[in-house]
Amino acid sequence: MAASEEHYTLPRPSFDKPVKLLIVVAPYYRQIADQLIEGARGEIEACGGTHDTIEVPGALEVPTAIGMAGRLSNYDGFVALGCVIRGETTHYETVCNDSSRGITLLGLQGLAIGNGILTVENMDQAQARAEVAGQNKGGGAAAAALHLIALARKWGGPRSGVGFQPARDEIQIAGQTKDTPSA
């Protein structure tokens, strides 16, 4: 994207009930990751949302962490952040393709995810895309997740009971049924 090009940005969605997002970041390039996180947090907070942030070892682990959180937690959406810079081997293609594919598959399963994993040729490109005052790709990823959450709420209403629920056994006590956690 050339800096002089102008692009349309959707207006921020609004929410009747607050949203909570999980930012999952691979901080391999810490300076870049910190800028991406700052942008994502700013966008979430501008919509009145809250967020938690976790770090994973690398971009390949981002979709796994999001998948786990999608099954075991109650976040409305997720922001995937990180940076992959081309090196001398084919590892770049593997990391870029597999992390993107994993995020896409989770999205197709119904998770609201904004993908802000940068895939660039060099550090200068990464910095230009990560800077909050620049292209702010962290903020853009958060905005994408927020728009998907808004769509999910529009089409399906708020979900309840999402995430990990401990197994329960019913027992009879003096003619009353009582739920107890399974051991």
Can 91 be counted among the known catalytic residues? yes
- Residue carrying the six token digits 């003096």: 174
Which of these, 97, 71, 72, lies nearest to 84 by C-alpha position? 97
How remote is the C-alpha of 78 from its chain's centroid? 2
For residues 1-11, one letter each, b for 16 or more C-beta atoms within 10 angstroms of the residue's C-beta and e for the rest, the string is eeeeeeeeeee
What is the token pair recorded at 181? 């956690």
CA distance 143 to 65: 20
How far is the first Cα of the chain from the last one, in angstroms, to the nearest whole number? 55
CA-to-CA dists, residue 83 to 80, 129, 171, angstroms: 10, 10, 52
* Sign, Cα dihedral of 98, 103, 104, 109: positive
Out of 7, 51, 91, 147, which one is annotated catalytic?
Answer: 91
Catalytic residues: 91
